[in-house]
Every structure is written in C-alpha cells, then in structure tokens.
Amino acid sequence: MTAKYYIACDLGAESGRVMLSTLADGKLQLEEVHRFANGPVQIQGSLRWNVLSVFEELKIGLRKVATRGVPVSGISVDSWGVDYVLLNDRQAMLSVPYHYRDSRTEHTYARAMEKAGQEKIFAETGIQFLPFNTLYQLVAECEKNPELVKIADQFLNIADYFNYLFCGVGRTEVSMASTTQIYNPHIQNWSAELIQQFDFPETLFPTIVPSGTKLGPLTPELCTETGLPPVEVIATCSHDTGAAVAAVPAEGDDWAYLSSGTWSLLGAELPTPLINDAARKHNFTNEAGFGGTTRFLKNIIGLWLLQESRRVWAKQGLQLDYAEINRLAEQAEPYRSLVNPNDGRFLKPENMPAEIASYCRETGQPEPETPGQFARCILESLSLLYGQLLNVLEQLTGRSISKLHIVGGGSQSKLLNQFAANATGRMVLAGPVEATAIGNLLIQAIATGDLESLEELRRVVRTSFTIETYEPQQTADWQQARQRFANLELDT
C-alpha cells in the first residue's frame, strides 16, 4: 500500500496539537508536529475562548507540515463539545465565544428546566443534563445578546468552526450536533420542538452532515499562508470523544470504554439510542458515533480534579509533573479519604485541594495534607466511581461487561489503570493514548477510501499501538473501600 498522509488538528481544553500521520501496510504512525497551550481568558467578568490565537497556532502547525513535502490526503479538526461561535456571511466571528465554565448558564439552566421539563428534553434528545450544554448557552445568548443573535446566520461548535475557517463551508458534523442537547436522534436532525419551545431562530441551525463528510478544499488564502496545496477538509467526528471511541481497539460487544482526560467519559457502543426513564434518571447520554452507532455514556469529572490541584500547587511554588504526582500517590496511605468526583463543588472551584479537604471534613474523613494524599484520594475515588457506573451501565443496557478499554491521556497513568481494574473487578486494556487524534485520522482514511469500515479502522489500531493489560487484584481492602464509597451521596 502506498503511504497515505493525513493531518489531525486535535483541540483540548488545556492544549492543542497538530498531528501528521502516515498510513501504510495496515499500520498508522503518528508525529506530533506542533503543540500549544489552550485555556480560558477572563474578559470583563466573563470566561471566553481565544479562538483567534488557536487559529494562528493551527496555521503554524500546517506550515510545519508543509515543510515535510508529503502529499497530504486530508485534514480535520476535533474538539470538546457544547461551546460555539456565532457568525454570518459578512463576519467570520460576531463575538468572542464563551467557555463552558462561564457562569452565564447558572440561572438559565434552571429556568429552562421549568419551561420544558427534563422528561420532554430527554425524550427529544436522549442527552444528559449538564448546565453548560449548548441548549442552555443559546437560551442565555438569546436573553442577554438578542441583537447579536438577530444578525447571526448560524452557530458552529468549535471544531466545526475551524473546519469552516479552513475551507469556507459551515456544517455541523453529527457527533458534535448530538452533544448540543438540541439534536433529535430519531429524526437525525435538529429538534424542531425544542427550537420552537425556546424561540430560537430556525436560521441559526446549520446543516448536519454524517461523520466522514468531505467539506471542500483548503481555501486559497490558507494555501498561500501555509504552503499546503488545496488539501481536502473532512468532517470526521468533530467531537473529540466521538473520534476517541472510534479508535477504541475493541472486538465483540462485552466491553465498555473510558475516554480518560480532563473529563471521564464512560460508556458502551450501541447500535441505536437507549432513551427511557431509567437512562434519564441515571443521567446517561446518547451521543452519535461513527457509522451510525450510539455512544451511550456518562460524562463525569475526570482528571480535572488532579489538573486543578496541580495548578494550585504550582501557584504555591510547588512544581510537580504528573509522573512525580503518580509516584507520590503510590507511596501514600491507601483508602485514607474518598470523595464523590461528581459533587458540584468540584466543577468550578477556586481552590481544588481546599474543596477536597472540605468534602472530607464534612464526611468525617481525614483531610488530605500532602500532594500524594490528594492524588491518591482522587485516583481511588475516580476508580470506585468507574466501578459503580459500570454496574449501572450493565443494568441499563442488559450487557455483560468483562473488559474496560481506557483511552486518552489518562491511560498513561499505570496507577490509575490498576486502581480501575481493582475497583471495577474487570480487565482493563489501556491505550492508545492518542485515541482522539487516531480516530480523527483514520476516519479521514475511510472518507478517502483508504480504509473500508470501522472494523478495519480498529484492526489498524490494534496492529499499530501497544495495548497494556491490567488484571483486577481483588482484596478485602478494596471491598471495604467500595462499601465506604457507596455510602457517600452519589449522583449515578
């Protein structure tokens, strides 16, 4: 097979990367061409995304790819969900987009619940209730910026927006559309009922396209600016979790996945949505996956707990990398303190270690005092939550789950992987780390005809990357920890 080259622009809440891949003889090789920091910007009491800076960084990455002189077959962007940019045919950006942790939805979320009700919204969308979903952001937008909404031609979620900047074609890819909580999976289009219920302008909603849609070539302006030829821009799975799940190296149907990063997304791949009262009460979600699949999952706070703790320690003058944090956690006393990672106090804390200590104090547990104790508390608590949610997932889907595939940055933590195996009582298969970029790149290969199917995509992943296995080590201590954790007030 002649080598094929693809570019993935993989945007996360902490950093972004431009990745160049080579696909040859059934194997994929990755090169991180450019990495840059990403994060929110405070502007007059609001939290925003600096998308113009991100665009400049992406162009730097594309220029670096151009110097390689390889024939690139495709380029695609993936990102987190829910946030968006408003635009029209005269202005490529009408305002600086809000960050999902901005406080503007705190009141609109409650009012939206009163106006439409959980039952109706879930029946229409099958999507879990998070106060920062696009639905509630648009409610806030229409209330606080009606003049802006009036002149907007459409909104585009972040990855779809950058695909638009690359090729000039504004479309919403279905995996991203499904995360907005305004998409109806039954009709595979925007929910006319919710659009009418919340008085949204119908013209605001862009055309939805399937995963793996060719959008058009790189614009002449960008070709000149980057040195690349008119490479085809492809909407793969614009939502990063959609891309990551496509790259899970699984076989059969006795497995669940955990996309482990700032957020932990734990779920199963289903052929059709599972929308019923039980799924709603447990706040599971039905997001679109590649090839018409459904990502039935639970979105929970993940390594955000550790990332924010590390940020606070750094401000206090204690610089620790994640390898050192994991080493300190391994040496710390086990099962000393446990928290419910889904407690609302951990969503937007000013001081994460202080919030964790407060939770432990309120629940009659010893407060963590050292970074190792905090990290151990976080990793054990996350693992125990994974175990509890896997049991709920089995009940909701009727499936027997014997394996948990952990992909993403969190799969690099051998300690967390082993804790997850111990806490869940299931075999853990860890890797690949770069699942999101891999899914992005290999869906491009399907779109261009270089691969044929999702099954072949996953076979390439299994052939190309090392997957580490962790067997559960069942002990009486873990059993006791499970019981202690179950006695905490949990949102499952």
Name the phi and psi angles at 253, rounded to 5: -135, 20
What's the CA gap between 126 and 123, in Å, rounded? 6
Name the phi and psi angles at 94, rounded to 5: -85, -25
Closest by CA to 137, choosing from 59, 47, 57, 218, is: 47
10 annotated active-site: no
User: What are the strands of the beta sheet with 15-24, ordered from one edge?
Assistant: 27-37, 15-24, 4-11, 72-78, 232-235, 213-217
Alpha carbon of 98 to those of 14, 45, 137, 430: distances in Å?
15, 11, 9, 34
What's the CA gap between 397 and 394, in Å, rounded? 5
What's the CA gap between 112 and 135, in Å, rounded? 9
Task: Provide the β-strand partners of residue 55.
Answer: none
In the three-class reduction of DSSP (H, G, I as helix; E, B as strand; rest coil), residue 71 is classed as coil
139: tokens are: 């409610």
Determine which one of 240, 254, 277, 343 is catalytic. 240
Torsion of Cα atoms, 396 then 398 then 400 then 404, to 10°: -30
Which residues are tagged catalytic?
Answer: 240
